[in-house]
């Protein structure tokens, strides 16, 4: 029996369906280009552009140091996803099934559902933001005003929201192969248009652009917290941006043909992609200073200032494509697998996606009028924080406790004597290790004194979880794996 083979007759139906089953090597169609586009779509959103541009302006740090911090963050994230992605490449399993090895075949539902809830929330919010691009397109082309307002959105806004919601659900319903094709098209397309926009800005701004770039790259006054503090803050911010995908990267790497292709895709998609995209964002932002007399880091504001119908149409398509791309990667595929893991006999990948879409419709529809006003993002960020120790526990368990080997059959077995059944399906030692580490991660969201840690609170939480788990599991018998 190979790594991705499974004796179906020996599995428990409460732990198995065809979407959770290992992807066999002959059925895998992803290579380095697909993985590159996972990351390209992850950063090429409205928020991703604003973040990339703001890093050069918000911290008062020398531009070369900002680039160095971005490169460092890229390599750190690359290391993290190489670690979490390798088991899924080898065994063809998604994140919630991989979590069973350390958390227990039942206990894995806890981190899976926490990740799923966070993703569903942000899926609804990102659907709303993607709809603003369609709104921009409709109003720009037709000249029609928004119309009457209901729950904070105009009639055009609601129509745009419904279009985006339906398009994403349709794309998802076609299966992972269609999603792969969309990501492969969206990543390069957004890059080509970004390059074209940068060229336009360079031509229009002329020599003034280079003067603004010179100011950014020139040595500046020491920022608050010092050069080192600002450098670490930029690095931490970029790490935190990708943290949501780091833990469930196996949902994508399970479709990759080899670990080598995964690593090449991660190298090109993270440190290389982050630097190139940040450079484009920097050039465009610096050009806006020369053209409009102020720093504009919001792409929609830049388009509005240029006042060109052609640019409005192109920009709307870009914003729509990029935001849908990140939504599929970070917020749609993960909860579909997570919900399927909760009740495999009743919920498959498609049904999980449908539940995600329905819940997200209400979240996105109520975002402007209600949810954004409640400060609920703190609650969602708290849920996200509790996943940091889970990452540390899963990775340490696989590489040190399990020595990089899993019993594939036992991952789908509810036998009380099974390797991953532990106590009633839960690894209580993992939970005991998770609790104090999660307490720190949650405190990093709510305690102002921990703000200084910035995005590093996620990494520290993961390390704490790993260290405490290792201590809890010392002396325990290790499952025998052939």
Do 449 and 443 touch, CB atoms closer than 8 A? Answer: no
pLDDT confidence of 79, banded at 50, 70, 90?
Answer: very high
pLDDT in tens, 107-162: 999 999 988 988 898 899 889 988 888 888 888 788 787 677 888 899 999 999 99
Domain-located, residue 131: yes
Residue (of 124, 169, 121) closest to 361 by Cα position: 124
Q: Measured between alpha carbons, how far is 277 from 403 in angstroms, rounded to an integer?
A: 37
Domain of residue 36: give its range.
26-473
The model's confidence at residue 211, banded by pLDDT at 50, 70 and 90, is confident
Q: What integer pLDDT is reported at residue 30 of this predicted model?
A: 95
Whether 309 maps to a domain, the answer reads yes
Please tell me the distance from the alpha carbon of residue 83 to that of residue 250, in angstroms, as a whole number.
Answer: 10
Residue 122 pLDDT: 87
pLDDT category, 50, cuts 50, 70, 90?
Answer: confident
pLDDT tens digits along 259-276: 999 999 999 999 999 999
- The answer to whether residue 3 is domain-embedded is no
pLDDT of residue 436: 94
pLDDT of 1 reads 41
* β partners of residue 256: 30
User: Has residue 238 been placed in a domain?
Assistant: yes
Which tokens sit at 84? 């979490």
- Rounded to an integer, the average pLDDT of 182-210 is 82
For residue 126, what are the CA distances in angstroms to 48, 119, 297?
Answer: 12, 10, 18
Residue 269 lies in a domain: yes
Lowest mean pLDDT among 210-224, 248-262, 388-402: 210-224
pLDDT of amino acid 306? 66
Model pLDDT, residue 202: 82
pLDDT higher than 90, residue 453: no
Domain contains 9: no
**pLDDT at position 242, please?**
87
Flag whether 93 is in a domain: yes
pLDDT at residue 462 is higher than 80: yes
CATH number of the domain encompassing residue 182: 1.10.4160.10
**Enclosing H/E stretch for 214:** helix 207-217
Cα–Cα dist 178/287, whole Å? 37
Q: Which of 24-28, 376-380, 456-460 has the lowest mean pLDDT?
A: 376-380
Is the distance from CB of 6 to CB of 409 less than 8 angstroms? yes
15 lies in some domain? no
Q: How many domains does the chain have?
A: 1
Strand, helix or coil for residue 397: helix
């Amino acid at each position: 029996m190979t790594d991705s083979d499974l004796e179906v007759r020996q599995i428990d139906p409460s732990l198995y369906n065809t979407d959770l089953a290992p992807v066999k090597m002959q059925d895998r169609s992803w290579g380095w280009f697909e993985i590159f586009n996972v990351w390209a779509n992850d950063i090429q959103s409205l928020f991703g552009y604003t973040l990339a541009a703001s890093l050069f302006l918000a911290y008062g740090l020398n531009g070369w140091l900002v680039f160095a911090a971005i490169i460092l963050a890229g390599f750190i994230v690359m290391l993290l996803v190489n670690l979490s992605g390798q088991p899924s490449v080898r065994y063809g399993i998604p994140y919630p099934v991989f979590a069973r090895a350390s958390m227990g075949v039942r206990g894995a539902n806890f981190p899976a559902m926490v990740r799923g809830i966070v993703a569903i929330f942000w899926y609804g919010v990102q659907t709303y933001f993607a709809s603003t691009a369609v709104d921009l397109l409709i109003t720009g082309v037709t000249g029609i005003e928004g119309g009457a307002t209901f729950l904070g959105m105009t009639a055009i806004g609601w129509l745009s929201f419904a279009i985006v919601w339906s398009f994403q659900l349709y794309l998802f319903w076609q299966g992972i192969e269609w999603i792969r094709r969309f990501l492969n098209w969206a990543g390069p397309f957004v890059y080509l248009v970004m390059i074209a926009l940068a060229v336009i800005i360079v031509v229009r701004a002329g020599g003034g652009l280079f003067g603004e770039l010179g100011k950014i790259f020139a040595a500046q006054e020491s920022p608050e917290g010092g050069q080192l503090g600002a450098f670490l803050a930029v690095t931490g911010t970029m790490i935190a941006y990708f943290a949501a995908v780091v833990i469930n990267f196996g949902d994508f790497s399970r479709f990759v043909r080899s670990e080598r292709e995964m690593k090449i895709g991660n190298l090109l998609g993270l440190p290389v992609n982050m630097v190139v995209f940040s450079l484009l964002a920097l050039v465009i932002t610096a050009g806006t200073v020369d053209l409009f007399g102020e720093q504009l880091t919001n792409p929609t504001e830049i388009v509005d200032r240029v006042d060109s119908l052609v640019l409005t149409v192109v920009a709307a398509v870009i914003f729509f494509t990029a935001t849908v791309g990140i939504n599929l990667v970070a917020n749609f595929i993960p909860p579909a697998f997570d919900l399927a893991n909760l009740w495999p006999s009743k919920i498959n990948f498609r049904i999980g996606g449908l539940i995600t879409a329905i819940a997200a419709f209400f979240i996105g529809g109520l975002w402007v009028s209600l949810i954004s006003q409640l400060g609920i993002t703190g609650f969602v960020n708290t849920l996200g924080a509790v996943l940091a120790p889970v990452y540390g526990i899963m990775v340490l368990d696989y590489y040190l406790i399990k020595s990089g080997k899993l019993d594939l059959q036992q991952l789908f077995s509810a036998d009380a004597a099974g390797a991953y059944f532990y106590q009633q399906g839960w690894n209580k030692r993992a939970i005991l290790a998770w609790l104090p580490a999660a307490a720190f991660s949650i405190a990093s969201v709510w305690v102002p004194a921990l703000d200084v840690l910035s995005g590093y609170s996620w990494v520290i939480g993961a390390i704490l979880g790993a260290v405490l788990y290792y201590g809890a599991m010392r002396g325990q018998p290790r499952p025998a794996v052939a």
